[in-house]
Copies of this chain bind each other. A is one copy, B any other.
Amino acid sequence: MKGAILVLSGPSGAGKSTIIHKAGEAIGDYYFSISTTTRAPREGEVDGVDYYFVSKEAFEEGIKAGDFLEYATVHGNYYGTSMLPVQKALDEEKLVIFDIDIQGHRLVRAKLGDVVTSIFITPPTLSELEKRLYGRSTENNEVILKRLKSATNEIKAIAEYDFLIVNDDIQRAAQEFILVANSARLKHCKEDLNGFISQWLEG
């Protein structure tokens, strides 16, 4: 049966990339969905790796053409997910991993709910998040304050997620992630289940 979708949300600084990296091959063959954004690249960010960086005009054309599975405006910039590579990966029975915010999660769940498993990943406390964001010093204070404010709102939405991973211990967090990612692959869409029922009755 077809591939499945794993949505990850949580504040920047929660350690999502570190957890995925740590999990490595234990979660099998996956496609990490690269978002498209109109925000400026941060130092060290590479186009086509971290994001597809595009102009506001190009993004708005994509919206008009119906290219986006989901998109949203965050801190004045567009962020979105092109449907084409996602569909390709699903057809190849890969686990598609999205790193999107709570708005994106709602949209993806509404569109592809049957095969979505979602995880909210967070540092143990707001003050720990603050420490991590100032510690890595890749953003200026204004951006960090915006991120902390977002996180304070986003944490209230954790009940919308299938799972919560508290990243206070990277080993345990990665183990939990591996478990959820591999069980996510066992989800089936309604269409496939209906096919199964027909075959089951006749078989």
Contacts and interface: CB of A to CB of B under 8 A. Distances in A.
Interface of A: 122, 124-128, 152, 155-156, 158-159, 162-166, 176, 179-180, 182-183, 186-188, 190, 193-194, 196-197, 199-203
A43 to B, nearest CB: 29
Contacts of A190: 159
A187 B159 CA distance: 10
A5 B203 CA distance: 32
A164 B180 CA distance: 16
Nearest to A120: B193
Top 3 closest pairs, chain A to chain B, by CB: A125-B203, A183-B183, A179-B183
Chain A at the B interface: SS class: helix
A164 B182 CA distance: 14
Given A193-B159, A197-B158, A127 B179 contact: no
B125 A199 contact: yes
Nearest to A192: B164
Given A179-B179, A179-B182, A187 B203 contact: no
Nearest to A151: B200
6 contacts: A156-B197, A158-B193, A165-B186, A179-B182, A180-B183, A183-B183
Q: Which of A176, A187, A196, A199 has the most CB of B within 10 A?
A: A196
